[in-house]
Amino acid sequence: MKVIILGGDGFCGWPTALHLSKEGHDVTILDNLSRRSIDDELGTNSLTNIPSIHKRLSTWSNLGNSKIKFINIDIAKELGNLIDVFKEEEPEAIIHFAEQRAAPYSMKSMTHEKYTVHNNVLGTHNVLLAINKMPNKKADLVHLGTMGVYGYDGAEFPIPDGYQNIYIENESGEKIKKEILYPANPGSVYHMTKCIDAQLFQFYNKNYKLKITDLHQGIVWGCNTKETLEHPDLVNRFDYDGDYGTVLNRFLIQASINYPLTVHGTGGQTRAFINIKDTVKCIKLAIENPPSGERVRIANQMAETFSVKHLAERVSNLTGAKIAFVNNPRNELEENELSVKNEVLCNLGWNPIKLDDSGLHEIYSYAKKHVGNINLEMIPATSCWNESKMPGIPTL
Ligand SMILES: NC(=O)c1ccc[n+]([C@@H]2O[C@H](COP(=O)([O-])OP(=O)(O)OC[C@H]3O[C@@H](n4cnc5c(N)ncnc54)[C@H](O)[C@@H]3O)[C@@H](O)[C@H]2O)c1
């Protein structure tokens, strides 16, 4: 299958590109390399040394794998070029990872809020416009959303895969059944852009019959996949800083240098998680099993839920690291329960990887090999939803 991967140089996009190429798909990556520029802006780095995209791709083909093409394009700014690429390449599937994806980064300043909205919302809309301009068969779109679109206040019942039945009482007291999108409840500007994306998909599916899958992904942990381990040049990025580092990866990296595990608030926030190896499997399932197109297919791409405190305790028990409870910089419930359905992907054959000590140990040992690359100043979270709640630096 001919596949275009938007954002294929990033943390989820790169291992997905390699996996799909290995599985026999013809892959082209479109990326403006903005994630690399954001590293420069923040003065941070991936824990792993990631070579240029050109080096990554030449190593991949030199190992005897099929060639992956790369086009440098800003999908939010270059609509004309995007239309031309889709027309020329005629992909059957387009996978859309190309958004600014860190909630803390989106809340740093007005400039970052504006950038995140422009980049994500205009980017997604341009992708829909460009698919709609494809002359022959229009490509199926698979977009990476986030579990954060639902908010985290639903303890009474599991969050469904996107759609919710509700009953509205009319004036005669009759209860009318309606199916609605599960109510959006974003907790940051970043999450808000994903909620707007979801509305764009509803319209383009209803009006133009575009076939769209929106995968509401949990927080990703882990770093490498089978393919990224084929050669050191293929290594995935591994973020540990206060903006882009995801919580479990951050704890494992903090433990690797004996830095206290920075739990925000009480750690009672429960969130959904998925291993990076499962991210690539789910995307493959989504493109190889396209939806009927009658409505947007929405799937919760998450394996299980844990509280932040539980994760810190698991990592602490395994590594001996201390836990530091610091101010929570986010505006969120201190404690919440969370249960989530993931039936759509499981019905396609997904068998989620569950968190266990050997999985944690694998990432911890991997992090330990790269401790020389850690810049301690980048570890504390410095982006605050409310400045009075700055977490500060734990005692070392
Ligand atoms: N990493 C996670 O834990 C996680 C969790 C849930 C959802 N997601 C979603 O998955 C997707 C990928 O996340 P990631 O962790 O790989 O992020 P990432 O920042 O590592 O990768 C995103 C890639 O998109 C590119 N990009 C951004 N804006 C672009 C634009 N305008 N034009 C072209 N390229 C652009 C970047 O250069 C980068 O290579 C995101 O949409 C994110 O919201 C990620």
What pLDDT is stored for residue 237 in this prediction? 98
Distance 11 CA to ligand 1 centre (A): 7
Q: What is the pLDDT of residue 383?
A: 95
User: Of 351, 261, 346, 386, whose CA–CA distance to 312 is shortest?
Assistant: 261
Probe target for ligand 1 pocket from 6, 19, 35, with the most ligand atoms within 8 Å of CB: 35
Q: What is the per-residue pLDDT for 137?
A: 85
Atom of ligand 1 nearest to the CA of 33: 37
pLDDT value of position 394: 72
Token look-up 């929405």 returns 298
Fold of 2-389: Rossmann fold (3.40.50)
Nearest-angstrom CA–CA distance, 386 and 327: 11
pLDDT at 2: 98
Q: Determine the Cα–Cα distance for residues 107 and 243; give it in Å rounded to an integer.
A: 10
Please list the residues that pair with 213 across neighbouring strands: 142, 297
What does the alpha-carbon distance between residue 138 and residue 93 come to, in Å, rounded to a whole number?
9
- Measured in angstroms, how far is the CA atom of residue 10 from the centroid of ligand 1? 6
What pLDDT is recorded for position 391?
74
* Ranges of each domain in the chain: 2-389
Tell which one of 29, 101, 201 to mutate to probe ligand 1, the residue whose CB is within 8 A of the most ligand atoms.
Answer: 101
Q: 3-state secondary structure string, 217-239?
A: ECEEECCCCCCCCCCHHHCCCCC
Residue 122: how many CA atoms within 13 Å on its side-chain side?
13
- Report how far residue 238's alpha carbon sits from residue 170's, in angstroms, rounded to the nearest whole number: 53
Which amino acids bring their CB within 6 angstroms of ligand 1?
A: 7, 9-13, 31-35, 74-76, 97-99, 101, 119, 123, 144, 146, 217, 219-220, 246
Centre of ligand 1 to C-alpha 58, Å, is 22
With a cut of 70, which residues of the chain have pLDDT below it? 154, 387-389, 392-393, 395-396
Cα 283 to middle of ligand 1, angstroms = 14
Taking only the tens place, the pLDDT of each residue in 176-185 is 999 999 999 9
Nearest Cα to 277, choosing from 225, 219, 216? Answer: 225
Residue 82 parent element (H or E): helix 79-89
pLDDT value for 388:
66
Q: Model-level pTM?
A: 0.97
Residue that has been written with the tokens 């005669």 in this structure: 172
Angle at 101 between CA 352 and CA 382, to 5 degrees: 115
**Ligand 1 mutation pick, 4, 11, 44, 249, max ligand atoms within 8 A of CB:** 11
Judge residue 109's burial from the number of C-beta atoms within 10 Å of its C-beta, 0-12 exposed, 13-18 middle, 19 or more buried: exposed
- CB under 8 Å to 139, separation ≥6 — which residues? 4, 86, 90, 91, 92, 93, 94, 131
Spatial distance between the Cα atoms of 49 and 55, rounded to a whole number of angstroms: 12
Minimum CA distance residue for ligand 1 atom 11: 97
Q: Annotated active-site positions, please?
A: 146, 190, 194
